[in-house]
Amino acid sequence: MPETNDVSSPLSEHLEELRQHLLLPFTISTLFIVLFFPFTTDVINQLVNLANLKIEDMAVFNPTEFLRLKLYLSLFSSILVTHPLWYRGFYNFSKPGLNDKEKKIIVYSLSLGSILFIVGASVGLLYLSPFLIEFLLEENNQISTSLSIYQTIKALIAVSIFSGFLASLPVLILTVNKHTTNTKTLKNYTYILIIIVITLGTPEPSMIINLIFLVFFAAIMEITLLFTESNNAN
């Protein structure tokens, strides 16, 4: 029994330390969701206009759909705005166990990755999303289509997420690969990250859609690693 207490005590201390580091980002994220929620209707109107659609042409297919959309939009906006605080919280928690080289790698990767993600997500939302919506509507112009406002906005946000992830993925891989010799481990962790992003970001999860995105992002990763290995060989 004493041995169990000795083992659980450090674990409890680490969990308490992690809670303290994440308390500030959690509090600010929650406060942002509450304060942003009243403005979500205006944001939804702007997103619909951005996609060259009209709000009166959109449909709601169940009583809770619009409320869920507002909550989803509030949560997404909160993550987008406060994610540097979450990065900092996890970094401060792991900082005592890192050497100077590892600290520089993490700070550089997270800073550059965050900037590229925001730039890529903005490009995806402002330019790529309207193009895809227009293309899909033209493909279905022979069929009477009622657009769900919930699924349409989620699709716009999903394209934004994938664009941001695509913009930051090669640089993150190059940065980490430059300071590690274990390419296999890097690939494994990257595949896990890709699967998580695809699972959470796909508006209508399906095996075929997820497989397409997985192959696409995996190809980007493999090309990036191949480029890196080629440069190292030279």
The pLDDT, as a whole number, for residue 92 is 86
**Cβ neighbours of residue 145 closer than 8 Å, sequence gap 6 or more:** 137
Own/partner pairs, 38-45, CB within 8 angstroms, 24+ separation: 40/69, 40/70, 40/73, 40/74, 41/70, 43/73, 43/77, 44/69, 44/70, 44/73, 44/149, 44/153
- In whole angstroms, what is the distance from residue 85 CA to residue 197 CA? 20
Instruction: Assess contact for 106 and 172: CB atoms under 8 A.
Output: no
Q: Write down the pLDDT at residue 36.
A: 95
User: Got the DSSP string for 161-184?
Assistant: HHHHHHHHHHHHHHHHHHT-S-HH
Per-residue model confidence (pLDDT) at position 232: 58
Please report the pLDDT score of residue 202 as a whole number. 59
The confidence score (pLDDT) of residue 27 equals 95
The pTM of this model reads: 0.71
**CA distances for 210 relative to 41, 198, 215, 216, 231, angstroms:** 30, 6, 9, 10, 32
3-state secondary structure at position 128? helix
- Check residue 74 and give its pLDDT: 93
Output DSSP code: residue 148. E
10-residue mean pLDDT profile of the chain (234 residues): values are: 52 82 92 94 89 80 88 88 86 82 79 85 84 73 68 83 80 67 63 67 57 70 68 58
